[in-house]
Amino acid sequence: MTPLIEIDGLSKSYPGVRANEDVRFSIAPGEVHALLGENGAGKSTLVKMIYGLVRPDAGTMRLRGEPYAPPRPSVARERGVAMVFQHFSLFDALDVAENVALGMENPPPMRALAKRIREVSEEYGLPLDPARLVGDLSAGERQRVEIVRCLLQDPKLLIMDEPTSVLTPQEVEILFRTLRQLSAEGTAILYISHKLEEIRALCDGATILRRGRVVGSCAPREKTARELAEMMVGQTLTPPARAERARGPIALEAAMLDLDSPNPFGVGLRGVSFQVRQGEILGVAGVAGNGQDELLLALSGEIRSPTDAVRIDGHGVGHLGPVARRRLGLVAAPEERLGHAAAPDMSLTENALLSGGPRRGLVARGLIDWAKTRIFAREIVEQYDVRTPGIEVAARSLSGGNLQKFVIGRELSQDPSVVVVNQPTWGVDAAAAAAIRQALLDRAAAGAAVVVISQDLDELLEVADLFAALNGGRMTKPRPTQGLTVDEIGLMMGGAHGMEEAHAHHA
């Protein structure tokens, strides 16, 4: 059988980086093929070449035996190649059908389109109402809009970039059923993910990329997740060490925390209550946009609340700002590194001062002690293995993983008694992610109360002692992580959006 797509010797260089070098593999019709690799391994560049967003420097592709060199995505779509991006390109203020129409070359009349959307979504088990506003949809439903948009073009090859990062386990199941159905009908799927268990469950074949080159291929079902990870990283991985930790008194407490989101399409918090003891890690799961950002802002002090809604060591701090809370021992690391946790155009030294002032004594009577600040910055860079040419470079010149290590390092080096982090390893390579998780565990072992907000369930199961989920701004009662089943976790996270009437309570 001729392969659906054959990739032969594709290379692409950017100034200073070889993103892809002599990449070759092929996908058969109906095959679900995984593209595995760490961040920066060249997966994105490769799929962008296949989708016509980037022109290769060298190499050729053949689609169903015919030469294929798409100069732009519209040509790729005409030839039957479709792609669902990790970040959605949807307009909140338009409805589903309008959003789908915007992505089409020649959209049919709205009525006909709405009918087609309903047919396709039913056929593939992706419930979707064409008349709903995208701004009101959950992340999973938004993804369905993107998928349905692709399916309307009747693709032969569907590229999916990290599709499950925003889904609950139940939603992942629905998506997989759809993908298997597509595969059975002969549509090939190129599936990019770093979630190895998913790849083992779904994919027939896998190509592994490291530093732009193909370093191996395998049938994922025949390998363990650990073996796949080691092929990806090229080294043996050690799981984080979890020392037995002594639990102290309650260090951080939220009591019926209510607040409105500062963001018009954001989700406010409703009656969030929890307690974290010294030496304990609370993991907060949930699909993005269910109040995670708001929870971090409320705990860090960027959004104020009634005095007793947030307590540190028993003292009500809800009315205090970030500086006062830092003095009391609470440090925080928001999700967005550039622009929130760090100022992109400032040097690492200045970024060290950004939150390190109060606890490290970098400012005395209003005067900045730059010598001390530089020592602090250097200490973070050394202890947390931040790869940077120096501490005077702008924060934006660091890679995502290195900047994240800097941010986490900056907060953890302040001898905190309470740590709150949101998405600590988002977009960070496996080695850096492991280092960050280990640092959080070490901090808890040193007696800090830690709250880890994350969409990565594996991460939470790895580090958290207590597990809770945020859904529509409400938080479930924290339960011990040990002994939780995936089904229970899924139910805590709110189940599958759109599959049941239960989620209509967010008024």
Partner 1 sequence: MLITLEKRPTPSRGWAIATPVLAVILTMIAGGVMFALLGKNPVEAIRTIFWDPLFNPDVASYSRPQLLVKAAPLILIATGLSLGFRAGIWNIGAEGQYIMGAICGAAAGLALYPLEARWIVFPLMILAGALGGLLWAMIPAILRTRFRTNEILVSLLLVYVAQALMASMALGALRNPEGGGFPGSRNLSQWPAAANGELVANTGLHWGVIAAILAVIAAEFLLRRHILGFDIRLTGLAPRAARFAGVNPDRLILLCMGISGALAGLAGLFEVAGPAGQISIDFASGYGFTAIIVAFLGRLSPVGILLAGLLMALTYIGGELAQFMLSLPSAAIQAFQGMLLFFLLAVDVLSNYRIRLATKGAA
- CA–CA dist 494, 472 (Å, integer): 9
Footprint of partner 1 on 378-397 (CB under 8 A)? 392-394, 396-397
As measured in angstroms, the least distance from the Cβ of 343 to partner 1 is: 4
Residue 42 in contact with residue 26, Cβ under 8 Å?
no
As measured in angstroms, the least distance from the Cβ of 315 to partner 1 is: 18
Footprint of partner 1 on 8-67 (CB under 8 A)? 54-55
Which CB atom, from 225 or from 363, has the smaller least distance to partner 1?
363
**Binding of partner 1 at residue 241 (CB under 8 A)?**
no
Which CB atom, from 95 or from 350, has the smaller least distance to partner 1?
350
How many residues in total does the chain contain?
507
List 173, 302, 308, 313, residue binding partner 1 (CB under 8 A)? 302
As measured in angstroms, the least distance from the Cβ of 222 to partner 1 is: 40
Query: Is residue 44 helix, strand or coil?
Result: helix
Query: Is residue 403 helix, strand or coil?
Result: helix
Which CB atom, from 336 or from 487, has the smaller least distance to partner 1?
336
Which CB atom, from 179 or from 332, has the smaller least distance to partner 1?
332
As measured in angstroms, the least distance from the Cβ of 378 to partner 1 is: 17
Return the H-helix or E-strand segment holding 284: strand 281-285
Which CB atom, from 48 or from 277, has the smaller least distance to partner 1?
48
As measured in angstroms, the least distance from the Cβ of 397 to partner 1 is: 3
Max Cα–Cα distance, the chain, nearest Å: 76
**Binding of partner 1 at residue 355 (CB under 8 A)?**
yes
Residue 167 in contact with residue 287, Cβ under 8 Å?
yes
List 161, 204, 350, 465, residue binding partner 1 (CB under 8 A)? 350
- CA distances to 38, 67, 163, 239 from 229, rounded to whole Å, are 9, 34, 19, 12
Phi, psi torsion values for 300, nearest 5 degrees: -75, -20
Residue 276 in contact with residue 466, Cβ under 8 Å?
yes
- CA–CA dist 346, 354 (Å, integer): 10
As measured in angstroms, the least distance from the Cβ of 354 to partner 1 is: 5
- CA–CA dist 335, 6 (Å, integer): 39
Tell me which stretch binds partner 1 (CB under 8 A): 59-67, 150-158, 213-221, 337-345: 337-345
Q: Please enumerate in sequence order all residues whose Cβ is within 8 A of that of 465, keeping only pairs 6 or more positions apart, or say none.
A: 280, 281, 282, 480, 481
Which CB atom, from 28 or from 53, has the smaller least distance to partner 1?
53
CB atoms closer than 10 angstroms to residue 498: 19
**Binding of partner 1 at residue 266 (CB under 8 A)?**
no
- CA–CA dist 392, 389 (Å, integer): 9
Site size with partner 1, rule: CB under 8 A: 37
Tell me which stretch binds partner 1 (CB under 8 A): 74-82, 250-258, 348-356, 487-495: 348-356
SS3 content of the chain, % helix, strand, coil (to 5): 35, 25, 40
As measured in angstroms, the least distance from the Cβ of 355 to partner 1 is: 6
List 75, 343, 375, 431, residue binding partner 1 (CB under 8 A)? 343
Tell me which stretch binds partner 1 (CB under 8 A): 58-66, 122-130, 148-156, 300-308: 300-308
**Binding of partner 1 at residue 319 (CB under 8 A)?**
no
**Binding of partner 1 at residue 424 (CB under 8 A)?**
no
**Binding of partner 1 at residue 346 (CB under 8 A)?**
yes
As measured in angstroms, the least distance from the Cβ of 309 to partner 1 is: 19
Tell me which stretch binds partner 1 (CB under 8 A): 120-128, 146-154, 350-358, 444-452: 350-358
As measured in angstroms, the least distance from the Cβ of 358 to partner 1 is: 8
Look-up: residue for tokens 């540190």? 312
Alpha-helical (H) ranges within 186-339 are 196-202, 225-233, 292-300, 322-327
AA letter at 185: E
- CA distances to 44, 71, 192 from 55, rounded to whole Å, are 13, 7, 20
Q: Which stretches of the chain bind partner 1, using CB under 8 A? A: 54-55, 300-302, 321-324, 326, 332, 334, 336, 339-347, 350, 353-355, 357, 363, 366-368, 370, 392-394, 396-397
